[in-house]
Structure 1
Amino acid sequence: MGAAKKYLNNQFMARKFFLENEEASEFYLCSLQSNRSSVPLLLIRIVIFLGCLGIVLASGILTGQAIDAKYWPIYLTHWGILLNTVCAFLACCVSIAAYAQGGIDATFGLPWYVKAYWFSFNAAVPIAFFITAFYYAFLSSMGEEFAINQVLDLFIHGINSVLMMCLLLTAQHPSLILHFYQPISVTLVYLVFGIIYYFAGGTNPNGDPWIYPNIDWRDPGPATGMVFASAAMIIIIHLLVVLISLARDWFSKRYIRDSRTMSFNS
């Protein structure tokens, strides 16, 4: 109980609201390695990036063939897989910089590209999990209009979360409670887009004046309720990500990493 109280006291310090961390190495070392090489995580991140990029390209191509490519940007799912790709790309950039420089110096704070990656990670992972949960809980049983291709459907609503889970489990950097505003800020941007799209006369591919049937602004009461419920769900998922990162770090420190014996092979 004392350890939990100490952890929470530390988590709710004002500085934890910002993208600052004393150990830059945590952003390019893998939780599954016992040495200090940046190569293992670099290779993992390249695979994840290629997977995310493949999903985005397949989604764009198949959407354009099945309906009209102009509708691709209206869905949160597609925002999510694009965010996954950006996050994985920035993760690769961090690892490449660490490999090229022999490490990353955070004496005067984390470099901007590390902060950009961390922000994208904090947003992409919870949003990916949210998209998977929301789709399979509320949308998948509503008909085929959300499933252009069954295989693609699995990749953009399921494998997206698998890739982000891999990114989460192989990282060493922390996930902080006070960073909940970062996934919320991205979804807030999407919410504003959705409202503007509705009042501008936008429709879905079937001509309906909504993007998702659960958020139909012709009936603002239920739509607003769904927005607040979704925001609460994203915050809960963010807290779950924090717990997963804590379990990951505990397992890694107990069974894989040992500060007394870690080598410094590059």
Structure 2
Amino acid sequence: MAEDNTSSDSCCTAFLREFRLNQLGYTDVVGWNDDFTRSWLIKDRRAFLKVRIALLVLIFALFVWSSLDMGVDGDYKYWWIYVTHWSLLVELLYFASAVYTQWRAEEKGEPSGRWWVYLSWILHDIAYPASFFVTVNYWLLVYSPPLRAISTFTHGVNFVVILADTMLSSQAYRLSHGVYFLLYAIVYIIWSLIFHAAKATNQDGNRYIYSSLDYKEDAGGAVVTIAIALIGVLVIILPLLWMVTYIRTQRSNKSKLANDSMTNMPATTVDNLMSI
């Protein structure tokens, strides 16, 4: 099952379990119809599907808006160099796959082991921390006045959207799966080095993508920035996001136990409680 924390687990026990090697894989999706398509809070699955479609439309609107924002000035080719836009694209793909996965469950009743279930899980494992990482780094390292609406939406609202989906869903976020986000981050670092080696420039004519990654003028500073960012991901961001999801899982389990208790309670007892 994807949501694999039980209500009896202490936080420390659940945290330590995340470091087992068998947690790295994506093979345990036997209960995908519940784990990837059910909301512990929105009981009507079709209503939850509509919520996810709305979130998909919102992210798609942000994707189009950010593309047009650079495109109107003839700078669209530079849109692809930024990690913000990479992460926005991954988030868009995640919501598209999540909606498709849920639709297949509702309309087709598909069995487990389908490729789109794995795709949805992998994309979430990258998009969830990526959106938070991009938001934090933008406001700490990149932002300079004046404040622009598009910057707020692509460095904040995008994270709120995927956080809302995560908190509403029953899909697990394994701490060990943070390694896949780290691989994503390393790919971007390699891309920034290729960008520098090719003597490419951003839309302002600078020999770097971000000033904090200026390998030409401050290679040492760039290395320190990368090291701090990666350590921050390992020590702060991934455990924090896991903790948020763990708390949701505990609330979900308690809600399920309460519902099961009500279901198994004799009808006369339920009627007496309802009349109080």
TM (norm. structure 2) is 0.84
Q: Which amino acid aligns with 2:219?
A: P
Matching of residue 131 in structure 1 with residue 134 in structure 2 = yes
Q: CA shift at 1:261, angstroms?
A: 5.3
On the 8 A contact 1:41/1:95 being kept in 2, the answer is no
Could you tell me how far apart the structure 2 residues matched to 1:215 and 1:121 are?
Answer: 27
Q: Which amino acid aligns with 2:41?
A: L
Could you tell me how far apart the structure 2 residues matched to 1:245 and 1:198 are?
Answer: 38
Q: CA shift at 1:188, angstroms?
A: 1.4
Q: Which amino acid aligns with 2:162?
A: M
On the 8 A contact 1:127/1:234 being kept in 2, the answer is no
Q: 2:98 aligns with which of 59, 81, 91?
A: 91
Q: Any residues of structure 2 matched to 1:206-217 within 5 Å, and which?
A: 206-217=204-215
Q: Which amino acid aligns with 2:126?
A: A
Partner of 1:68: 75
Give the direction of change, closer, same or farther, for the CA distance of 1:2–1:244 in structure 2 (3 Å limit).
Answer: closer
Could you tell me how far apart the structure 1 residues matched to 2:250 and 2:51 are?
Answer: 21
On the 8 A contact 2:42/2:168 being kept in 1, the answer is no
Q: Any residues of structure 2 matched to 1:107-256 within 5 Å, and which?
A: 110-141=113-144, 143=145, 150-218=148-216, 219-235=218-234, 236-255=236-255
Partner of 2:22: 15
**DSSP 3-state at the match of 2:211:** coil
Give the direction of change, closer, same or farther, for the CA distance of 1:4–1:55 in structure 2 (3 Å limit).
Answer: closer
On the 8 A contact 1:30/1:40 being kept in 2, the answer is no
On the 8 A contact 1:203/1:209 being kept in 2, the answer is yes
Could you tell me how far apart the structure 2 residues matched to 1:240 and 1:9 are?
Answer: 15
Q: Which amino acid aligns with 1:111?
A: R
Give the direction of change, closer, same or farther, for the CA distance of 1:84–1:2 in structure 2 (3 Å limit).
Answer: closer
Partner of 1:101: 108
**DSSP 3-state at the match of 1:214:** helix
Which digits, 9 at most, give the CA deviation of each residue in 1:31-79, with x for residues without a partner?
Answer: 2134xx5323211111111011000101111111135111100111111
Could you tell me how far apart the structure 2 residues matched to 1:56 and 1:185 are?
Answer: 23
**DSSP 3-state at the match of 2:10:** helix
Report % sequence identity.
Answer: 22
Gaps of 5+ in 1: none
Which has the larger displacement, 196-205 or 249-258?
249-258
Give the direction of change, closer, same or farther, for the CA distance of 1:129–1:13 in structure 2 (3 Å limit).
Answer: same
On the 8 A contact 2:202/2:208 being kept in 1, the answer is yes
Which digits, 9 at most, give the CA deviation of each residue in 1:108-132, with x for residues without a partner?
Answer: xx32211111110010011101111
Q: CA shift at 1:202, angstroms?
A: 0.9
On the 8 A contact 1:31/1:248 being kept in 2, the answer is no
| Superposed structure 1 runs of 4+ greater than 3 Å apart | 259-262
Q: Which amino acid aligns with 1:233?
A: G
**DSSP 3-state at the match of 2:125:** helix
Q: CA shift at 1:13, angstroms?
A: 2.3
Q: CA shift at 1:9, angstroms?
A: 4.4
Give the direction of change, closer, same or farther, for the CA distance of 1:164–1:211 in structure 2 (3 Å limit).
Answer: same
> Which one scores higher on RCO, CA 8 angstroms, separation ≥ 6?
1
Matching of residue 26 in structure 1 with residue 35 in structure 2 = yes
Q: Which amino acid aligns with 1:135?
A: Y
Q: 1:38 aligns with which of 21, 36, 45?
A: 45
Could you tell me how far apart the structure 2 residues matched to 1:59 and 1:248 are?
Answer: 31
